[in-house]
Amino acid sequence: MSVIYNKRIMATRNSKLYLLITLGIASAFGPFLTDFYLPTLPVLDKYFNTSASLVQLSLTFCMIGLAVGQLFIGPLSDKYGRKRPLLLSLGLFGVATIGCIYSQDIHWFILFRLVQGLAGAGGVVISKSIATDLYEGRELSMFFSLLSGVQGLAPICAPALGGFLLEVTDWKGIFWILFAIGLLLVFILSFFKESLPKKCRQKENIYSTFHNYIPVLHNKRFINYVLVQAFAMGVMFAYIAASPFIFQTHYGLSPTAYGLCFGANAVAIMLGSFSVSFFHSAKQAMRTGTVGFGLVSLMVAVALISNATVIIVESILFLFLIFLGLILPSSTALALDEERDNSGNASALLGFLTFLFGGVISPLTGLGNMLYTTSIIIIVCCLGVWWCTRKAISDIVC
């Protein structure tokens, strides 16, 4: 009873609007920093006088940092509270960003991108833990639906925004903007009131804190919810990787028209995420999302393989991504609700596996005919979502 009372006190100390804005920016920060500089890749190989593959390696290392960093920062936040580790990770991010700007060769640039990823992981993992500290049940799923709407926009809108800014600045200007966003987040977080009381923190030494991964990994229902999100995020990363080639190269859309499609699909994910609040429970939202996701995936595959018109492909994708928006916040809420006592570790594993899965899936879209490989990846990932949902929720609609 006292734990619930403490949560209520913490929630009132941080207003819901403040929490939504702050945690939305923090959770989107990691995905944003991976994709914001994508339009600069062709410029970087000329600047550093190196190969395109080495420049692309900077993206891979940043994603590795985002995945691995969560495994360390999550448990630390269970031990020392949420605010301190988050501010320290943002400080490290600032140092790494300056390092990127003043790197003399591509190898130093790759190293600092790795550190950027490790530091950026703090916002991704701790934002989920803070939400779990303060909310539970339907209130938690509703908050995650709003949070996922913001977070889902980051990897989709970041490349378009980066491309626009590259018209008025150079690649270093892009990184200075990243640095400024980090400073802004530090300022906003200086007003944050700690959400994890000292008596609720892990009492063991720091090494024992990492051992808490073992019981979390043994929670089969939690793992199934995590895999639901991993497969769903695999679809989103596949879409992000393949969409420029499908819309611009195959269908011949202009960058402006492609940007409009990109923006429309971002709205679709937001609509799906916000729709979670209209369901009686997160389980019901995930069941609905899973069934719709699976059925529409077949329509997407048929449209791509049959070379349907771009209007048909975009219309089906829009509907498809609405169901994706339903799955992401509901699976997150259900997963973290399973491991409240180890929310930092649980959030870390959730983030690690989804980013790792997305990093593996993305390059696979480029194997062979992209329309075929993207269709296959979408169907396989949707089957994975359906199977893991069925395992996690016994009354899933088959």
What type of residue is 126? I
Judge whether residue 4 has pLDDT over 70: no
Query: 59-73, 77-91, 333-347: which has the minimum mean pLDDT?
Result: 333-347
Instruction: Count Cβ atoms within 10 A of the Cβ of residue 17 and give its class: 0-12 exposed, 13-18 middle, 19 or more buried.
Output: exposed
Instruction: Count Cβ atoms within 10 A of the Cβ of residue 205 and give its class: 0-12 exposed, 13-18 middle, 19 or more buried.
Output: exposed
* Residue range 202-252, pLDDT digits in tens: 777 767 667 777 888 888 888 999 899 889 888 887 877 777 778 777 888
Q: In the structure encoding, which two tokens stand for residue 308, read together?
A: 């349907």
Judge whether residue 42 has pLDDT over 80: no
Q: Which residue has the higher pLDDT, 96 or 129?
A: 96
What's residue 25's pLDDT? 82
What's residue 113's pLDDT? 92
pLDDT band at 395 (very low <50, low <70, confident <90, very high): very low
Other CB atoms within 10 Å distance of the CB of residue 396: 17
What span, in angstroms and rounded, lies between the C-alpha atoms of 248 and 253? 5
User: DSSP state, 277?
Assistant: G
What's residue 308's pLDDT? 87
Q: Please tell me whether residue 382 adopts helix, strand or coil conformation.
A: helix
What's residue 155's pLDDT? 63
* Residue range 380-389, pLDDT digits in tens: 999 999 999 8
Q: In the structure encoding, which two tokens stand for residue 216, read together?
A: 């979390």
What's residue 95's pLDDT? 95
Question: What is the chain's mean pLDDT, rounded?
Answer: 81
Judge whether residue 74 has pLDDT over 90: no
Q: In the structure encoding, which two tokens stand for residue 129, read together?
A: 């833990």
CA atoms within 13 A on the CB side of 225: 28
pLDDT band at 149 (very low <50, low <70, confident <90, very high): low
pTM of the model: 0.71
Phi, psi (deg, nearest 5) at residue 168: -115, -5
What's residue 152's pLDDT? 62
Alpha helices in 190-309 (DSSP H): 206-211, 213-217, 220-244, 255-275, 282-305
* Residue range 294-341, pLDDT digits in tens: 899 999 899 989 888 889 988 999 999 999 988 988 888 888 888 777
* Residue range 334-368, pLDDT digits in tens: 888 887 777 777 878 887 888 778 777 777 777 77
What type of residue is 180? A
* Residue range 279-289, pLDDT digits in tens: 888 888 889 99
What type of residue is 292? G
Query: How many angstroms separate the Cα of 250 from the Cα of each of 162, 299, 300, 327?
Result: 23, 19, 16, 29
What's residue 396's pLDDT? 42
What span, in angstroms and rounded, lies between the C-alpha atoms of 57 and 194? 37
Instruction: Count Cβ atoms within 10 A of the Cβ of residue 245 and give its class: 0-12 exposed, 13-18 middle, 19 or more buried.
Output: middle
Query: How many angstroms separate the Cα of 79 from the Cα of each of 72, 88, 287, 342?
Result: 11, 14, 35, 10
What's residue 394's pLDDT? 61
* Residue range 150-207, pLDDT digits in tens: 666 676 677 777 777 877 888 899 899 999 989 998 998 888 888 888 887 777 776 7
Other CB atoms within 10 Å distance of the CB of residue 217: 14
Alpha helices in the chain (DSSP H): 2-13, 16-35, 41-47, 52-80, 83-101, 106-134, 137-165, 171-189, 206-211, 213-217, 220-244, 255-275, 282-305, 310-338, 343-361, 370-392
Mean pLDDT of 2-31: 67
What's residue 8's pLDDT? 47
